[in-house]
Amino acid sequence: MPVQRYTPRETARRGKEWYQRDIRSRVDIAENFGKMLIINVDTGEYEMNDDDLTATHRLLDKDPEAQLYGMRIGYPAAVKMGGAWPSRKA
């Protein structure tokens, strides 16, 4: 189990920064909407899959100490509890 080096807020900040700066232009396309994107917040390496655990395990297999941030491409949150997702046009 990795040791947490960052607060949850710092992990999110770093993950969002990598996404906006280096990753978004490569993955934010219609065919990826709804997929989970998991980012190593130290290196910017990422994995994408329909299943967040699969993507997470792929990154942890490469670096067991990785600090990870997850998001769902094209949506404001990774998961929802009740209600409906807002529609998004590609």
Q: Does residue 16 lie in a domain region?
A: yes
> For residue 77, what are its two tokens?
């949150």
Q: Does residue 52 lie in a domain region?
A: yes
Position 74 scores a pLDDT of: 86
Tell whether the model's pLDDT for residue 88 goes beyond 90.
no
Q: Does residue 81 lie in a domain region?
A: no
Q: Does residue 3 lie in a domain region?
A: no
Where does 1-90 show beta strands of DSSP type E?
36-40, 46-49, 68-72
Q: Does residue 83 lie in a domain region?
A: no
The DSSP secondary-structure symbol of 19 reads I
Residue 37: strand pairing partners: 48, 71
Domain range for 44 is: 8-72
The 10s digit of each residue's pLDDT in 7-47 is: 999 999 999 999 999 999 999 999 999 999 999 999 999 99
Q: Does residue 90 lie in a domain region?
A: no
Q: Does residue 67 lie in a domain region?
A: yes
> For residue 68, what are its two tokens?
């990870």
Position 27 scores a pLDDT of: 96
Strand order in the sheet with 36-40: 46-49, 36-40, 68-72
Structurally, how many domains does the chain consist of? 1
Query: Position 78: which residue type?
Result: A
Position 47 scores a pLDDT of: 97
Q: Does residue 1 lie in a domain region?
A: no
**What DSSP string describes 3-17?**
---S-HHHHHHHHHH
The 10s digit of each residue's pLDDT in 41-86 is: 999 999 999 999 999 999 999 999 999 999 999 876 676 556 665 6
